[in-house]
Amino acid sequence: MRQIALNLLVPGMKLGKTVYGPNGETYLNAGVILNQRYINRLSARGYSSVYVEDRLLDGVEVDDVIRQETRVKAISGVRSILKDAKSNKRGIISQAAVTRTVNGILDELLDNPLAMVNLVDIRSRDDYLFGHCVNVCVLAVMTGITLGFRRDRLLTLGTGALLHDVGKVRVPPEILDKPEKLSAEEFEVVKKHTIYGRDILRQEDQEIAAIAYSHHERYNGEGYPEQAKHPGIKLFSQIVGVVDIFDAITSDRCYKNADHPRVALELLAGTGNWWFDAKVVNAFMENVAAYPTGTFIQINTGEVGIVMDTPKGQPFFPNVRILLDREYRIVKPYDFSTLSNGCGVNCVLDDITVTEMLKAEPKMGTP
């Protein structure tokens, strides 16, 4: 199974993972054979990619770090928590609902310590904020586990992460969802979500309110709202800051297409002791594959293959199924560890390039 851009879908491909709508409702079930009508519908609803079954990855599952059911439940939970915060003047949120959601995520992550983020959480452009909150929670908790926090501290971190952008409910939607570049004045309004977030949350818990207030502060003082500097920025705010950037870069937004996780990780790798404490950046990076399962790559000895998985703690060293030799001749596929062979990755190849290379095999990508 692998992720494929919508514009590369052709009728006859088999959907690898169920596509959910913003409220957790099913749009299309895993296993459906796609036809043009389904493809048009996905496009109209703002999806830019889906997972399809692919015989090149026979027997390889792309598992999320939490169950799909937990993620869908968490996303609809966040939707109603934020709706309550918006409709209620004092912004009161249901602490019990939040704790239930975070505990569900925590249980699964603690049970699965070797999990590596390989899956791009596919969501429609229109559904950014709720999915983003859940993803930030998942990634922040994984980083906290790597840093060795106890369960009660992980619960606080996960809660702050889930609610880090709650202040956005007070930012006018026409600014929040504006597809064009924001004016300087509009950006000042968006920045206020940190202050609104603190105001909403401080009646619940000071530490969680501080995460919402400070998740855009940066180690070198370039952040907001206070331009705080190291060592004045709490660890939890920095963790949420790092994962917030990762999720924003790797997501489709109303004003841009998603970038590849490798791009986000390379950017973040350069932010240690500049935007964030290096130990936070390093702990986060241990959990995320730069080349998710199903990515076509060329290794630095010239061979071309498709990523199978990535060992925990080694984001840039995937295990690859080699398909073409260094002269781009089709070979009998074999599995290759870049880590144990001391190889790096040269580049990511797009589907069109590899399809061309494999044109002796015209059925690639179809079930």
- Measured CA to CA, the distance from residue 268 to residue 316 in angstroms comes to 13
Rounded to 10 deg, the angle between the 278-285 and 128-146 helix axes is 100
Q: How far is the CB of 193 from Fe ion (least distance, A)?
A: 6
Nearer to Fe ion, 165 or 309 (CB): 165
- Residue 240's contacts (CB-CB under 8 Å, 6 or more residues apart) are 136, 140, 157, 160, 161, 164, 211, 215
Cβ atoms of residues 214 and 194 within 8 Å: yes
Nearer to Fe ion, 39 or 176 (CB): 176
Kindly indicate which of the ranges 142-150, 162-170, 266-274, 310-318 contains the residues binding Fe ion, using the contact rule CB under 5 A: 162-170
Q: How far is the CB of 215 from Fe ion (least distance, A)?
A: 6
Residue 239, CA distances (Å) to 23, 244, 247, 321, 366 in order = 28, 8, 12, 34, 40
- Measured CA to CA, the distance from residue 216 to residue 275 in angstroms comes to 10
Give residue 95's identity as a one-letter amino acid code: Q
Q: For the residues of 70-86, what is the DSSP string, one character each?
A: HHHHHHHHHHHHHHHHH
Nearer to Fe ion, 20 or 128 (CB): 128
Nearer to Fe ion, 165 or 199 (CB): 165
Q: How far is the CB of 272 from Fe ion (least distance, A)?
A: 21
Q: How far is the CB of 216 from Fe ion (least distance, A)?
A: 6
Q: How far is the CB of 164 from Fe ion (least distance, A)?
A: 6
Nearer to Fe ion, 17 or 198 (CB): 198
Kindly indicate which of the ranges 86-94, 95-103, 158-166, 200-208 contains the residues binding Fe ion, using the contact rule CB under 5 A: 158-166
Q: How far is the CB of 50 from Fe ion (least distance, A)?
A: 28
Nearer to Fe ion, 165 or 277 (CB): 165
Kindly indicate which of the ranges 4-12, 72-80, 157-165, 302-310 contains the residues binding Fe ion, using the contact rule CB under 5 A: 157-165
**CA 342 from chain center: how many Å?**
28
Kindly indicate which of the ranges 8-16, 22-30, 58-66, 161-169 contains the residues binding Fe ion, using the contact rule CB under 5 A: 161-169
The 330-349 contact track toward Fe ion, x by CB under 5 A, reads --------------------
Nearer to Fe ion, 276 or 291 (CB): 276
Q: What share of the chain is helix, strand, coil (3-state, %, to 5)?
A: 45, 15, 45
Cβ atoms of residues 136 and 240 within 8 Å: yes
Residue 96, CA distances (Å) to 37, 67, 99 in order = 42, 21, 5
Does 217 contact Fe ion by CB under 5 A? no
Does 277 contact Fe ion by CB under 5 A? no
Does 165 contact Fe ion by CB under 5 A? yes
Q: Give the chain's end-to-end CA distance (angstroms, integer).
A: 10
The b-or-e profile of 158-180 (16+ CB within 10 A means b, else e) is bbbbbbbbbbbbbbeeeebeeee
The 219-258 contact track toward Fe ion, x by CB under 5 A, reads ----------------------------------------
Which residues between 100 and 129 bind Fe ion (CB under 5 A)?
Answer: none
Residues in the interface with Fe ion (CB under 5 A) total 1
Bridging pattern class, strands 49-52 and 2-5: antiparallel
Q: How far is the CB of 47 from Fe ion (least distance, A)?
A: 24
Kindly indicate which of the ranges 71-79, 129-137, 164-172, 315-323 contains the residues binding Fe ion, using the contact rule CB under 5 A: 164-172
- Residue 313's contacts (CB-CB under 8 Å, 6 or more residues apart) are 286
| 3-state SS, residue 310 | coil
Nearer to Fe ion, 121 or 165 (CB): 165
The residue ranges that bind Fe ion (CB under 5 A) are 165
